[in-house]
Amino acid sequence: MNSQPNSKKMETWIIFALLTVLSWGVYGVILHKGRGYMPMGPEAPHASLKAFLFVCIAYAIIGIAAAVLIKLRGSNWSFTGSGITWSFIAGVTGALGAFTLVLALGAAAPIYKGAAAAAVMPIVFGGAPIINTITAMLLHPPEGGIKALPLPFILGCILAATGAVMVAKYAPSNTGGAKPGAAAKPH
C-alpha cells in the first residue's frame, strides 16, 4: 500500500497551518505598528479604528482573490444555506475579533507603547485555542462526556492559559528593559 498520498495531504495541511501561524504571529505587531503611524494628537482615539478600516479593505481584496480562485478551479458556484450561514457567522466572529484586537492594542498602547502587541497577542493566541477546544466540544461533544477528558488535555489547557499570561506579563519589552540599578549601555 502506498502511503505517499496521505503523507502529501499531511504535509499540505501542516504547511498551511504553519503559514497561518506565521501570518497571525506577525499580525498583531504589524497592526499595532500601522496604528502607531496613524495621525495622533487629537486623532489618537481614532487610530485603532483607522487601522481596522485597512484590515477590512485587505479582507475584501483577499475575498476577491478567493472568488477568482474558486472560478479558476472550475467551481459551479453552488452554495447551501447552512454553509453560507455558518461561514457568515465565522466571518462575523473573525471580524469582531480583529475589531476588538485593535481596540485592545489601542488601550494597551499608553501602558506598553510600541510593545503593546507583546502584551496583547499572547493573551489572544494563548486563550483562543482553549476557546476553540471548548466550542468544538460543545458542537461535537466528546464520547463519554466531559468526565472522559484525559488529564493531559485538562493540564494542557491550564498550561496554555498560564503560559499566555506569563508571556504577556514577562515579555522583555513589557518589563521595562534592564532591572533598576543595572547600567544601561549607550547606543
Q: For residues 105 and 120, what is the distance between their CA atoms, to the nearest angstrom?
A: 7
Whole-model pTM: value is: 0.76
Cell of 98: 480583529
Could you read off the pLDDT of 100-150 as tens digits, one per residue?
999 998 898 888 888 888 889 889 988 898 898 889 888 888 888 888 889
The amino acid at 130: I
Could you read off the pLDDT of 149-161 as tens digits, one per residue?
899 989 998 999 9
State the alpha helices, DSSP H only, in the chain. 4-36, 47-72, 81-112, 116-139, 151-170
Helix orientation angle between 4-36 and 116-139, rounded to the nearest 10 degrees: 140
> What is the domain partition of the chain in residue ranges?
26-37+47-73+82-174
**Cα radius of gyration rounded to whole Å, the chain:** 21
